[in-house]
Amino acid sequence: MKILSWFLVITGVLGLIGVRALEDTIFYDPFLNYFHEANKNIPFPDFEWGRLIVGHLFRFILNLFFSCVIIHFIFKNKEWTIQGAFLITIIFLITFPIYLYCISDRFEIGYLFSFYMRRFVIQPLILLLIIPLFYYRKQMGERN
């Protein structure tokens, strides 16, 4: 059973890698090239609000799914998986409106600030904090 769990964790990681690798083909995001150029002097891209929001929500759902698969099969604890999903969702609900404001402001609030807000919206960075947090929690539970 342990081999199956690790296979599913690896599948979750590969799913996250796949979301990142295919981002330019499966998601509508005209800001990919804008930030990829790392030049704040290039023209602000034209975009459609509706498609942009739906694209980011779809990407969030995929990242959330694969992140939950990873959390669940590392710790085998349904409650922790739900807590992880909740934490990831809270971070998204905080950063997504801020990122949308940055877009509406044409990144005048700050190029780097907007860049990093975008990172929290499109990448499952919080997973890098949740896994060590839950691992520590598991170790503390085993000690007591």
- Segments forming the whole domain that contains residue 19: 1-142
Is the distance from CB of 107 to CB of 44 less than 8 angstroms? yes
Q: How many domains does the chain have?
A: 1
- b (16+ CB within 10 A) / e for 55-75: bbeebbebbbebbbbbbbbbb
- Kindly give, in sequence order, each residue whose CB lies less than 8 Å from that of residue 128, ignoring residues fewer than 6 positions away: none
The answer to whether the pTM exceeds 0.85 is yes
pLDDT by 10s per residue, the chain, length 144: 689 999 999 999 999 999 999 999 999 999 998 888 877 678 889 999 999 999 999 999 999 999 999 999 999 999 999 999 999 999 999 999 999 999 999 999 988 899 999 999 999 999 999 999 999 999 998 887
